[in-house]
Structure 1
Amino acid sequence: MVPLMSEQLYGTLERSESEYMLDRMDAIRERAGNPEGVAIERFNGALAFYSKSMPWPQFNTVKLFSEADIDVLDGIIEFYQARGRNPQFEITPGNGTKKLFQALHSRGFYQTGFHASLYVEPTGSSVPAADDSVRIRELGKEEADLYATIHCRGTGLGDEGIPYVARNNEVLMGRAGWRFYVAERQGIPGAVGVMYAKDRTASLTFAATLQEYRSRGLHTALLARRLSEARAARCELVVGQAAYASQSYRNMEKVGMKLGYTRATWSRG
């Protein structure tokens, strides 16, 4: 079953995105010496993430920003400027108001994209028949390098990033709520997927497939496994994000997930 959108459900979807990111960045910050230079700051209801060594927008983003936080907007911008970084703001439909957009625009921000959030009750998902040649298994901490290799090559990052991705995800392997999976086709690893569960909500936080293994059922099989694990963990909702109408988005629809909302990304510079 896919429940109808409500204010309560909307809040659950929005919190799921911020909670897994908070736990992820906390774990990276807790590494000895904080080598990635992670900083996390709360401004009223907004949550600001920063990393010195990871300049990509997803690690330097503001979540949960609403009209009620406009009075601290300049403080948020100063938080990043003091660190030589421009942030991006992720604005969900429930928080997007004319006053909020005017405040961002007056400070040089403009909309640069959309991203979709999908959801389903795990008991109501419809999983396609499994391909016998595809096997999904959980990854152990000792396989962080294997995970990182597929992560980097599947997303177009250079191999020089593999050691860094491995160390930053190794700290999540075995951490409460986190589970990592690899999809193998005829015994050869070709895709990975990650899930974070908290408060009866499971977040499909990441997935990547090697170019040569795309369109061969690995991503869908990873979705099916994580939905099954969410059911076993008695989660009441599964949430995932994808670029709108992408292949990942379509695969999520195949297993019964429904569009919750598209959030807007606001950036500058």
Structure 2
Amino acid sequence: MKGPPIVTKALAERLEQSEIDYMTSRVNAIREREGNPMGAEVRRFGDASAFYVREMPWGSFNTVKGIRTEDIEYIDDIIAFFRERNRSFQFEITPANSSNELLGYLSDRGFRHHGFHTSLYGVPSLEEPVYSSGITIRELKADEFELYGQLHCVGTGLSPDGAGYVADNNRILFDRPGWRFYIGFVDDQPAGVAVMHMYNGAASFTFAATVPAFRGRGLQTAFLHQRCYDAARAQCDLIVSQAAYASTSQNNMERAGLRIGYTKAHFYHNTI
């Protein structure tokens, strides 16, 4: 992988836009299921995108991305949007679009900083990936989403009872433009899954998880290199990924050649 470009405000905004693009595609796909059983909505407020999924109460599916100082006039409308749905939510603030005025306004409305999340970036590579011994990776087949759901849940610590819901909410992306799903094997045993979304030349590594019993064998690194290679073959010029700050995932990404673009702050209000 050749060296990534230096961070500029324009690059940081492109990284954030790639997150908005994949999240918009994902939540709209959930919304378009017959009868919208998950209660999914995407709403624009100025440059900010608000995401809400009734049956997914956690922060990543009830969040606001792309907010900037120029959108302060919409913040009360955003709060009303989530209050009408009786849902707490978070604002994701990037350094490129932060300001004392914006942070002060959120503080005045009762929002408090409650965490950081790292966004990383790199340049795709046409160098064919070489896996550690015993590892194989291929794209997921259309009839394998039940297995995907199981690996997703076990790999992230979710209850196996939720595998069917995970399968349903990812199966709808299979034929949607830009999405690719991968399954990884360790010693011929299904061991993990990974996902990539490509749009406007940016390849977002949106998810990856390994079953605990197979961790430490190099599967996550293999997923990273495989997606870098596939992104290059698809004519992408940028790869983007996210991870908890200083986590094993972030460490793996940096070892694979990705750099930190920014660490965004989450602002949350739990009494909406």
Q: TM-score, normalised by structure 2?
A: 0.96
CA RMSD of aligned residues (A): 1.3
Equivalent residue number for residue 215 of structure 1: 216
- CA distance in structure 2 between the partners assigned to 1:207 and 1:123 by the alignment: 19
Equivalent residue number for residue 143 of structure 2: 142
Query: Is the 1:126–1:254 contact (alpha carbons within 8 Å) kept by the matching residues of 2?
Result: no
**Number of matched residues?**
268
How far 1:23 sits from its partner (Å)? 0.3
Query: Cα deviations across residues 19-74 of structure 1 (Å, max 9, x unaligned)?
Result: 00000001110100001001111111111010111101111000001111111111
How far 1:8 sits from its partner (Å)? 2.1
Equivalent residue number for residue 204 of structure 2: 203
Which of 85, 89, 105 is the equivalent residue of 2:91?
Answer: 89
Query: Is the 1:125–1:257 contact (alpha carbons within 8 Å) kept by the matching residues of 2?
Result: no
Which of 32, 35, 38 is the equivalent residue of 2:34?
Answer: 32
How far 1:124 sits from its partner (Å)? 8.6
Query: Is the 1:137–1:183 contact (alpha carbons within 8 Å) kept by the matching residues of 2?
Result: yes
**Secondary structure of 1:193's partner?**
strand
Equivalent residue number for residue 176 of structure 1: 177
Residue 135 to residue 111, structure 1, CA distance change in 2 (3 Å): same
How far 1:218 sits from its partner (Å)? 0.7
How far 1:234 sits from its partner (Å)? 1.2
- CA distance in structure 2 between the partners assigned to 1:206 and 1:190 by the alignment: 14
Equivalent residue number for residue 18 of structure 1: 20
- CA distance in structure 1 between the partners assigned to 2:74 and 2:4 by the alignment: 37
- CA distance in structure 1 between the partners assigned to 2:238 and 2:128 by the alignment: 14
Equivalent residue number for residue 131 of structure 1: 132
Query: Is the 1:126–1:256 contact (alpha carbons within 8 Å) kept by the matching residues of 2?
Result: no
- CA distance in structure 1 between the partners assigned to 2:257 and 2:157 by the alignment: 28
| Correspondences of 1:233-252 after superposition (within 5 Å) | 233-252=234-253
Query: Cα deviations across residues 194-233 of structure 1 (Å, max 9, x unaligned)?
Result: 0000111100000111111111111111111101101111
Structure 1: which 5+ residue stretches go unaligned? none
Equivalent residue number for residue 257 of structure 1: 258
**Secondary structure of 2:176's partner?**
coil
Query: Is the 1:28–1:38 contact (alpha carbons within 8 Å) kept by the matching residues of 2?
Result: yes
Residue 124 to residue 176, structure 1, CA distance change in 2 (3 Å): closer
Residue 74 to residue 143, structure 1, CA distance change in 2 (3 Å): same
Query: Is the 1:118–1:239 contact (alpha carbons within 8 Å) kept by the matching residues of 2?
Result: yes
% identity of equivalent residues:
46
Query: Is the 1:116–1:262 contact (alpha carbons within 8 Å) kept by the matching residues of 2?
Result: yes
Query: Is the 1:77–1:86 contact (alpha carbons within 8 Å) kept by the matching residues of 2?
Result: no
- CA distance in structure 1 between the partners assigned to 2:216 and 2:70 by the alignment: 44
Query: Cα deviations across residues 114-138 of structure 1 (Å, max 9, x unaligned)?
Result: 00011111139896x4213100010
Q: TM-score, normalised by structure 1?
A: 0.97
Query: Is the 1:47–1:62 contact (alpha carbons within 8 Å) kept by the matching residues of 2?
Result: yes
- CA distance in structure 2 between the partners assigned to 1:153 and 1:109 by the alignment: 33
**Secondary structure of 1:122's partner?**
coil
**Secondary structure of 1:223's partner?**
helix
Structure 2: which 5+ residue stretches go unaligned? none
Residue 100 to residue 88, structure 1, CA distance change in 2 (3 Å): same
**Secondary structure of 2:143's partner?**
helix
Equivalent residue number for residue 167 of structure 1: 168
One-letter code aligned to 2:167 = A
- CA distance in structure 1 between the partners assigned to 2:198 and 2:112 by the alignment: 33
| Correspondences of 1:40-119 after superposition (within 5 Å) | 40-119=42-121
The answer to whether the aligner puts 1:121 opposite 2:123 as a matched pair is yes
How far 1:96 sits from its partner (Å)? 1.1
- CA distance in structure 1 between the partners assigned to 2:158 and 2:109 by the alignment: 32
**Secondary structure of 1:175's partner?**
coil
Query: Is the 1:149–1:162 contact (alpha carbons within 8 Å) kept by the matching residues of 2?
Result: yes
Query: Cα deviations across residues 104-161 of structure 1 (Å, max 9, x unaligned)?
Result: 111111011000011111139896x421310001002211111111111111111111
